[in-house]
Structure 1
Amino acid sequence: MRYFITGIFSLVFSLTLQAQTGAAVTSRGVVADSSTQKPIALASVVLQNAEGKTLKSTTTTDKGVFVIPVAANVSGNKLVISYVGYESRIIPLPASNELGTILLASAAAALGNVTVNATKPLVKQEIDRLVYDVQADATAKGQTAMDMLRRVPLITVDGDDNIQLQGSGNYRIFINGKPSALVTSNPKDVLRTMAANLIQKIEVITTPPAKYDAEGLAGIINIVTVKKTADGYNGSVTLRESLPFGPGVNVNLTAKRDKFGLSLFAGGNLRVGITTRNENLRKTFGTSTETLYQDNHVRNRGYGAYAGSELSYEADSLNLLTASVNYFFNPVRSTVNRNSSYFAQSGAVLQSYDMRNEGEFNFSAVDLGLNHQLGFKGKKEQLLTSSYRYSYSLASQLGDIVSTNKLNYTQPDNKQLNDAGFREHTFQLDYVNPIKKFTVEAGAKAILRTNYSNTSGEVFVSPSAGYVNDPLRSNVFDYQLNVYSLYNSYSLKLAKWTFQAGLRAEHTTVDANFTSTSTKLDQGYTNFIPSFLALHSLKNGNTISFGITNRLMRPGINQLNPFIDKSNVQIINTGNPNLRPVISHLFELSYNKIGKKGSANFRASYMYINNSVESVTNVVNDTVSYTTFENVGQNRILRFNVNGNYAISPRFSLNFNTGIFYVWITGTYNGRMYSNSGPRTNTFLNTVYKPNSTWQFGLSGGYNRRYINLQGGSNDYYYYSLSATCNVKKFTFSAVFNNPLFKLYEFTQYNDSPDFYQSNKQYLIYRNVNLSFTYKFGKLSSGLKKNKRGINNDDAPSSN
């Protein structure tokens, strides 16, 4: 039995800052929206003299607060406060430098009959992340979470819904700031199921501070769901129909009374039986060229259901308890009909057969969490949070494979079963203490995770004997991974500068057991992960920021699992339990520009990785390919990204996102050096027209240039959609028409080497229509408190 010790420690920090005296004093205030009373972050605050010359400038914090040095006893000085989409205000400096709350009215309100004047920015730059406001995207109605990810800067989604962040497939996905088993092992199906109108925003954290686990070479994707939490109740019901895929429904409910609060979201979709087609092609080069061609027809049917809930209890002003639960279930039944032929260079058929695979795939996941937040008297921002989390996921894969019309094909009919998943317990302690301009954070954490796989198989012997157990297909795989970590970070906010620096120490232990080979693995390693972030406020609310960090990747069950998938005996896939951890190094520089009609963000980054885990393929005896994972890659990615928004007119707005990056990747596998490089891009453009407060129309499109892998890549991918939304009181109707001119799209992924070429071409359903109807109900009046700290197991790998 493994044991762990989570050290409970307390930190006592004291700092004495002396106020400036003499001619220099400071003015303080809070900038907020006049209608919602919510603070406005990154609003521009400019100090001018009587002639209008700029003397000083700064921007507001996330809480709308600004502090700006002023000259005492100078008449005529004034503050000019502005933010895109709002009317600017000029505030003469009063005798008292405490300005209180300054309210900005939206530009739309000032126009009277014109209801819309400026676009709300879709993308916001913060010191350590980019934030995509899904609720501000007029074309989001009727879409899914996966559709929204295609629009987010720095994220690439290909035709098969494989997700990459900054050109890397290794990242973490959170839901509401917390890792979830729902998206750790099976992100594609979960995000295809989740409705976009349940999402408030999507955050891309490329330089995570020390409080985050070190896992995730490229960073973190955090999906924040809608929570209108206040006294009373509020909710919505949405009915969806996606043609030709099937119907769906989702419900969102929030309620609060006195000290108790509840938030709930649930939904699902039905996947009707749809048949799609894909082709496998392999050419082997030797004394002669031989070709394998497989034509596959796949029919999938099933459903996906998800639910999440959070309960809070505010015992008193210093104690807050929260509990959460998330659940996802996705059973799929599939039928694969394959015609396989193997040709000599002359065209003669060397081997052929027809195969039918009746398969089942069942995925389930659950998260349970409990948090206690303790405040301190006299200092509400000083917090100590204790957290516990249990997470579990299971993927069960069953195949019943029967072959007919055989020519020189001797493989027997067979059945195979693989149950793979993980379970984990997490204990965490976090402490935060703001001391004037400083904020100190520290914490300790222990993650106890078990990855496991149980494999079995049967082969058909004869009509009389039927199926018998195949010992070569049986294996029990247990992979116990424990992570113990400590972190300490500091933040400093000055008039024009914000700094954040920290260090995280993680010790990992691994205890693995493979029953089929009687092999055991016992190892441990320690990593120190530094991070540094700086943001400088310029004139007129513009900012420039810089970040540097290291990140860590520990292989997960989908890469470690030694299960040999023989559903296709010519093209075999398996994991590698001997994979080692990987470290990345990231440097990032960004500039945020705010104008009168819009804003833009420019970002440049460079990331390099040694010993990266790569998917590699080897052909044996010219007839069978084996694909697995190896620590063989050396990756470098240089990236430049531009995104922003612009109000063309009071009713017409434009949002854009373009990422251009160059990839270099090298590595040695099976005695051969591979090298691949080239440019990539992902571009998205979204336009919205709002003729009045009832209707809005959207047009959007995107283009992704090919993947670049160690042995190959993919073809380019593009998409576009038309949308219309009608809002009538509590009802919303929306229609989205995706790719109306193209019924199917051919998406190809390939491996290319001097010895062979292998590809998979998928004919994807491209043209589809999404219809939705939403009804909103209830009324809320005040905010529900939530823990400001909690468990974030961003070390748990995601799978594409």
Structure 2
Amino acid sequence: MKARSNLLYLIVLLTSQLSVLSSYGQSNPVTYSISGTVVDSATQAILPFVTTSLKAGGNAPLKAAVSDTNGAFIFTGLQPLQYTLTVVAIGYTTKSITIDLTSATIDKMELGAVYINKKTNKLKEVTVSAFKPIIKQEADRISYDLQADPDSKSSSVMDMMRKVPYVSVGADGNILLKNNSSYKIFINGKPSGIMDTNPKEVLQSMPASTIQRIEVITNPPARYDAEGLAGIINIITNKDVKNGYNGTVNLNAKYPQGGPGIGASINARTGRFGVSAFAGGSLSFTPVTDISNTRQAFTAFPSTLTQQGTKQSDTRTGYFGTELSYEIDSIHLLAAQFNFSKNRTDGTIFQDAELTRAKANLQKYQFSNDNNNRGNSIDAAINYQRGFKHDKNRLLTFSYRYVKSANNMEDEVLFDNRVNYDYTNYQQYNRGTATEHTVQVDYAQGIKALLIEAGAKGIFRLNKSDYRYLFFNPNNGKFEVEPALSNDFINHQNVFSFYNAYTYQLREWGFKAGVRVEETVIDVDFSKANTVVKQQYFNIVPTASISRKFKDKSMLTFGFNQRIKRPGINKLNPYVDRSDPNYESTGNPELRPSTINNFMLSYGRSGKLSANVGVGFSFFRNLDLRISSYNPVTNITRTTFDNVGKGTAVTSDINLTYAVTKRWNASVNSSLVYLWMDGVSDSSLIQVNRLMYNVNITTGYRFDKGWRLSANLNITGAGIVSLQGVSNAFVSNGITLGKDLLQDRLSLAATVNNPFQAHRDNRIVTTGHNFIETNNTYEFFRTYQFILNYRFGQLKEKVKKNKRGINNDDLSNSKGGL
């Protein structure tokens, strides 16, 4: 067909050229021309080899032409008459345009883009209904297809996380995996600095429409690092890259808490080169919010501390990520990635503080805290993948990754209206940087139904922290460094690992087993205190799973794995945060890794009713827990971390998605954990036995003419935020109205969250052996959100991606807590 079109184009072109030559010597040298480009009205794609004809009265065409490979056509040698242009293409509606050259003041009529519409064929007697599965289960993971969920057009990635199996969102907006804060977040199967520094802000600003799916790897195979007690969350961007390009642009705004944001993604391929990129940014404003805190001390001389005040903050977040791929030939592939993120938060806290005993005032003051936080991260990686011409089941990959991040925190605390309080004004700052180099080699060999994998890896980290405490000297009116409270912290951490894994498929049965060996060497140096801490530990980490597929598209899986939770720099850094005069928090450079053993049984079924049910049992030891102690001499509560936790947990996760009709769908996503945990604080044994739960219910209906209406209800029970701390339960809800335009390419949506409750009291109660403390934040709960989403482009051929790469998941994503 293509050869015939090219021949027709050549014949028409030769005919038109002969016509021009034959008229060259005529007496009237002034002739007219008509030109244009044929374009698909829906996809904006140019259309080559489309037949165009020109008539000047009557029914017989005067001239004919075929658009070239760029969609362009031209008629020359015309007289000043009235013409009718007709455009005919298979699968498109015929289009006619009237062109009047009698009044033309120029001899060239350029029409520009001539849009034609695809034909729409309606089946009146046959109705085909298909339900695209939103959730897909595999032996070691489960994935949620955001592109199959209409709500993704009007939501952020953080909003959609509530619907993903095994995932929940806490009251503070932090993501929990199986009710655990220890996990890793990947982008496209690889670690990213974007998710290491400030994941909550990035995910809140990242439009869900730019994401293809979210994978939850509950039983990571041996080729992944052992870090993360709960597993891995893998965010897949729109990766269906083909010959051509496509993309998404999203604009959104949230009020009164939040702000404007923008996000975009684009995928393109030309020949052997492919590129995928995503970027975004947001401004998030937290208006003035009431805060209060009460601490009751049960010592020989009981006292009560009462703090009341306000806080507000502004946050700016920006991120960019890209992946490049070049297919040298059929067996050699080069791939690279680059990610960058930056965030900035400025806040202010005003508080009145009063310390009393038996209703007598012991101490009183007012203070203000101007604080700011600056963070940025950059990471880059390159992968070389080699296949083998005579054995397509063999694959060898070499990878290198570089990461550098910085996090700078500053506080200035000023006092006023003091009563029996002689603390001077002070400033504090912490300049933290982290650098990482990783080298890795992976080898995979397939032998019939058996896949053998092996690899080696080295990670070389350098973490630094330069922290200073400056007091105000009234004699010279300047802030001066206090050497006893200032230091330089340097942490070297090298991790060497090897793994071997086997996968075997026997009809409906699947078997996976592997072992990973990791050696960690740590060297900590306090340059100004002449203190050195050295650690070295060795771990053998097994993993195994068995899966069985059934004819009704269901799967049953049983898995076992052992995971490690290494403390990150935020828990190791001995910098003391004194942003509140009555409270101090610091890290512990002598922390050691925690281990957990997980057993899990899960069942999944896809169809009109998709059901995924998982039950698990875990036991852990040496868990690094947040510990708070009250000193009655200084009246200061100090919080740090220590390896004091051990216990067991039983988990149950249920996700149900049901297509009630082809227009109406509903889903339930729930997670329950019963925890038995023991820990020690101030030489006192603390036992925790608690049921934690989260239930998210969502329903949506699609009306005629592109209208959509959805609603959600989220129920979260009281949660454990530390060995001694418990957060209160809460219920949230939201309603979204959306409209699709331009053949579903443009989407508009408006959302109101918690329409029946303007504010919420977020409460955390912390209990120690000689104190109890209640912290309240009276935060905005009712918000309004507006989203505009636009999709563009047209693609044809998938781009080739490397199958192996660096996965640095050996450090916990946890910012604190359990």
Q: Tell me the TM-score range normalised by the shorter chain.
A: 0.7 to 0.9
Alpha carbons of structure 1 residues 382 and 442: separation in structure 2 relative to 1, 3 Å: same
SS at match of 1:140: helix
The amino acid that maps onto 1:601 is: N
Tell me what 1:285 maps to.
298
Specify which of 217, 223, 226 is matched with residue 229 of structure 2.
Answer: 217
- Asked whether 1:320 is paired with 2:333, we answer yes
Which of 258, 269, 276 is the equivalent residue of 1:263? 276
How do 1:346-385 and structure 2 match up within 5 A? 346-385=358-397
Q: Is 1:616 aligned to 2:627, yes or no?
A: yes
Alpha-carbon offset, residue 144 of structure 1: 2.0
What amino acid is the match of 1:733? L
Gaps of 5+ in 2: 1-120
* Preserved contact between residue 383 and residue 400 of structure 2 (Cα < 8 Å): yes
More divergent stretch after superposition (203-212 vs 718-727): 718-727
Separation (CA, whole Å) in 2 of partners of 1:693 and 1:493: 47
What per-residue deviation string (whole Å, max 9, x for no partner) do you get for residues 653-681 of structure 1? Answer: 11111222211111122210000111111
Distance 1:351 1:117, change over 3 A: farther
Measure, in 2, the Cα distance between the counterparts of 1:540 and 1:111: 29
Q: Residue 735 of structure 1 aligns to which amino acid in structure 2?
A: A
Shift of 1:173: 1.2
Structure 1 residue 779 displacement after superposition: 1.4
SS in 2 for 1:139: helix
1:763 maps to what in 2?
Answer: 778
1:190 aligned counterpart, secondary structure: helix
Distance 1:755 1:112 in 2: 77
**Alignment partner, residue 736 of structure 1:** 751
- Give the counterpart of 2:319 among 286, 306, 322: 306
Tell me the amino acid that sits aligned with residue 802 of structure 2.
Answer: N
Counterpart AA for 1:158: G
Aligned counterpart in structure 1 of residue 179 of structure 2, from 159, 167, 177: 167
Residue 445 of structure 1 pairs with residue 460 of structure 2:
no
Within the candidate set 344, 348, 370, 1:335 is matched to: 348
Residue of structure 1 in register with 2:103 after alignment: none
2:133 and 2:606 in contact (8 A); partners too = no
**1:782: which partner in 2?**
797
- Relative to the length of structure 2, the TM-score reads 0.82
1:325 Cα shift?
0.6
- For residues 535 and 673 of structure 2, the distance between their equivalents in structure 1, rounded to whole angstroms, comes to 37
> Matches of 2:261 and 2:648 in 1, distance apart?
42
Question: RMSD of aligned C-alpha atoms?
Answer: 1.9
Aligned-residue identity in percent:
37
Instruction: Please give the alpha-carbon distance, in whole angstroms, between the structure 1 residues aligned to 2:134 and 2:792.
Output: 26
Partner of 2:260: 247
Query: 2:504 aligned with 1:483, yes or no?
Result: no
Counterpart check, 1:602 vs 2:617: no
Amino acid aligned to 1:714:
S
The separation in 1 between residues aligned to 2:138 and 2:712, in whole angstroms, is: 25
Q: Which residue of 1 aligns with 2:687?
A: 675
1:294 to 300, 304, 307: 307
Distance 1:112 1:127 in 2: 42
Matching of residues 459-498 of structure 1 within 5 Å: 459-462=471-474, 464-498=476-510
Give the TM-score normalised by the residue count of structure 1: 0.84
Alpha-carbon shift at residue 463 of structure 1 (Å): 5.3
Do 2:154 and 2:738's aligned partners in 1 also have CA atoms closer than 8 Å? no
Q: Secondary structure at the match of 1:797?
A: coil
Kept in 2, the 8 Å contact 1:676–1:712? The answer is no
Amino acid at match of 2:263: N
Q: Spell out, residue by residue over 1:427-474, the C-alpha distance to the aligned partner (whole angstroms, 9 max, x if none).
A: 011111221111111111000011221101211111534221111221
Partner of 2:554: 542
1:515 is displaced (CA, Å) by 2.3
- Distance (Å, rounded) in 1 between the aligned partners of 2:240 and 2:363: 62
Structure 2 Cα separation of the partners of residues 566 and 546 of structure 1: 48
Aligned residue runs from structure 1 range 72-91, under 5 A: none
The number of residues matched between the two structures is 690
Residues 758-782 of structure 1: CA distance to partner in whole angstroms, max 9, x if unpaired?
1322222211111111222221111
- 1:145 maps to what in 2? 157
Q: 1:639 aligns with which of 651, 654, 658?
A: 651
1:566-605 to structure 2, matched below 5 A, reads 566-594=578-606, 597-605=608-616
Q: Which has the larger radius of gyration?
A: 2
Aligned equivalents of 1:349 and 1:493: distance in 2?
74
Corresponding residue of 2:97: none
How far off is 1:150 after superposition?
2.3
- Is the contact made by 2:299 and 2:632 (CA closer than 8 Å) also made in structure 1? no
Distance 1:423 1:366 in 2: 10
Query: What letter corresponds to residue 413 of structure 2 in structure 1?
Result: I
Whether the 8 Å CA contact 1:119–1:653 is kept in 2: the answer is no
Give me the whole-angstrom Cα distance separating, in 1, the residues matched to 2:543 and 2:767: 38
Greater RCO (Cα-Cα under 8 Å, separation 6 or more): 1
Does residue 794 in structure 1 map to residue 809 in structure 2? yes
Q: Distance in 2 between matches of 1:693 and 1:431?
A: 52
- AA at the equivalent of 1:621: P
Note if contact 1:131-1:204 (Cα within 8 Å) is conserved in structure 2. yes
- How far off is 1:191 after superposition? 1.8
Deviations 1:619-649 (A, max 9, x none): 0016110000000001311011211211222
CA deviation map 1:301-327 (0-9, x unaligned)? 231111111111111111111111111
3-state SS, counterpart of residue 380 of structure 1: coil
Alpha-carbon shift at residue 288 of structure 1 (Å): 5.1
1:355 positional shift: 0.8
Q: Which moved more, 1:115-124 or 1:654-663?
A: 115-124
